[in-house]
């Protein structure tokens, strides 16, 4: 069990900066993120894009901002649980919380801060009849252990880099590889696209273009995949595994079930301290909403600072908080 003062759900820029503000008030933080790296949208979606509205930086590369934030919070030694999604939140008798992740990691904290941006990034699922019924029974949205696909009949769907890369890789170890793509051309890396076409010419993979997978079937485990072409012709293929690779899309996930007041996929907060309607749970950054809300990183930074002033009273109920400028006191660590 990990014990901390504040558990921050989401390790994007706002979640990271909250560690700094909490640290100034002598509160320890642990961050959890579903992505395998810190930085949230900045690192996952646009690491090389310049950002122009961070005070003090006429322009700053997104990944550089994340790196700088990591440097800024390093003195406070935050804990990280990455690549795991928060699954449950249990209020304890004393008002504290225990959080449990998808991999069973447990975190005990006095305050929960949701800094989850637009939610956790989850696989984009295509419309295929019976798809969810076979999740974990032959259907997976990523390849975690390629060895499990050795000598199997694998069908991949998609036309991006992931679909191309895994088709090339699995051609070496799977018994049979089929790539189904809705278009007749690939916009992934040209080199990868050429390799896939060449593998198909050599008969080492099956390439099914201008087609979509429309349904799947099996007896407890995936057994067959039905493919419908643009000309409406239908074929059925025997398969052990199906891997749809259509990128990631943000979802609110289990947060939606925690009794929080939610308005259009965002958490309603009180703007005096960015607290939610549930005691000791705060929401900062893009995941919250209030009249006049602006989804800007700098607004999230402001929200983090105010949140920490309020959270202090839950973490240190018997201490008086006196505000101090860092220009006077520097950055006092633990």
Q: Return residues touching another protein (CB under 8 A).
A: 41, 45-46, 49, 118-119, 124-127, 157-160, 182-183, 186-188, 212, 244, 246-247, 249-253, 256, 264-265, 295
Calpha distance 142→295 (Å, rounded): 30
> Binding site annotation covers 64?
no
**Shorter beta-carbon distance to another protein: residue 246 or 290:** 246
Between 41 and 110, whose beta carbon lies closer to another protein?
A: 41
Cβ-based nearer residue to another protein, 10 or 158:
158
Q: Find the shortest distance in angstroms from Cβ 5 to another protein.
A: 30
Rounded Cα gap, residues 314 and 292, in angstroms:
28
Minimum distance of another protein from residue 188's CB (angstroms): 8
CA trace torsion 192, 197, 202, 204 (10° rounding) = 70
Give the span between the Cα atoms of 156 and 234, in whole angstroms.
17
Strands 241-244 and 153-157: parallel
Asked if 250 and 118 count as a contact pair (C-beta separation under 8 A), the reply is: yes
For residue 82, the minimal CB distance to another protein (Å) is: 20
Does 46 appear as a known binding residue? yes
270 marked ligand binding residue: no
Chain centre to alpha carbon of residue 160: 19
Which CB, 83 or 160, lies closer to another protein?
Answer: 160
Tokens of 171: 């051609």
Nearer to another protein, 247 or 259 (CB): 247
Query: Minimum CB separation from another protein for residue 64, in Å?
Result: 17
Q: Is 76 annotated as a binding residue?
A: no
The answer to whether 33 is a known ligand-binding residue is yes
Nearest approach in angstroms of CB 145 to another protein is: 24
Retrieve residue 264's tokens: 């259009």
CA distances from 182 to 120, 190, 205, 216 (A): 27, 17, 17, 17
Q: Residues 96, 81: contact at Cβ < 8 Å?
A: no
User: 121 a known binding residue?
Assistant: yes
Q: Which residues are annotated as a binding site?
A: 33, 41, 46, 86, 121, 286, 327
Q: Which residues are annotated as a binding site for FAD?
A: 33, 41, 46, 86, 121, 286, 327
């Amino acid at each position: 069990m990990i014990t901390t003062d504040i558990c921050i759900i989401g390790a994007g820029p706002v979640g990271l900066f909250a560690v700094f503000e909490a640290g100034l008030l002598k509160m320890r933080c642990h961050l959890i993120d579903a992505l395998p790296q810190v930085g949230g949208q900045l690192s996952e979606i646009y690491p090389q894009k310049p950002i122009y509205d961070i005070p003090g930086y006429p322009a700053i590369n997104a990944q550089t901002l994340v790196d700088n934030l990591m440097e800024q919070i390093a003195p406070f030694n935050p804990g990280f649980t990455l690549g795991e999604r928060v699954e449950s939140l249990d209020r304890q008798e004393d008002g504290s919380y225990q959080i449990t992740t998808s991999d069973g990691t447990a975190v005990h904290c006095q305050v929960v801060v949701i800094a989850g941006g637009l939610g956790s990034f989850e696989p984009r699922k295509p419309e295929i009849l019976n798809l969810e019924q076979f999740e974990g029974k032959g259907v997976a949205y990523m390849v975690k252990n390629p060895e499990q696909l050795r000598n199997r009949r694998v069908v991949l769907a998609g036309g991006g880099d992931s679909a191309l890369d895994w088709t090339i890789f699995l051609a070496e170890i799977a018994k049979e590889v089929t790539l189904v793509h809705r278009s007749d051309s690939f916009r992934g890396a040209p080199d990868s696209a050429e390799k896939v076409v060449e593998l198909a010419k050599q008969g080492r993979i099956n390439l099914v273009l201008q087609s979509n997978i429309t349904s799947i079937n099996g007896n407890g485990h995936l057994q067959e995949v039905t493919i419908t072409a643009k000309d409406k012709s239908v074929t059925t293929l025997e398969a052990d595994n199906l891997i749809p690779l259509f990128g990631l899309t943000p979802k609110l996930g289990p947060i939606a079930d925690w009794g929080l007041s939610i308005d259009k996929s965002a958490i309603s907060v009180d703007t005096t301290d960015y607290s939610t309607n549930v005691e000791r749970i705060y929401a900062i950054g893009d995941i919250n909403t209030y009249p006049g809300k602006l989804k800007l990183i700098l607004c999230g930074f402001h929200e983090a600072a105010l949140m920490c002033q309020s959270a202090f009273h839950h973490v240190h109920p018997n201490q008086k908080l006196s505000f101090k400028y860092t220009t006077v006191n520097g950055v006092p660590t633990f």
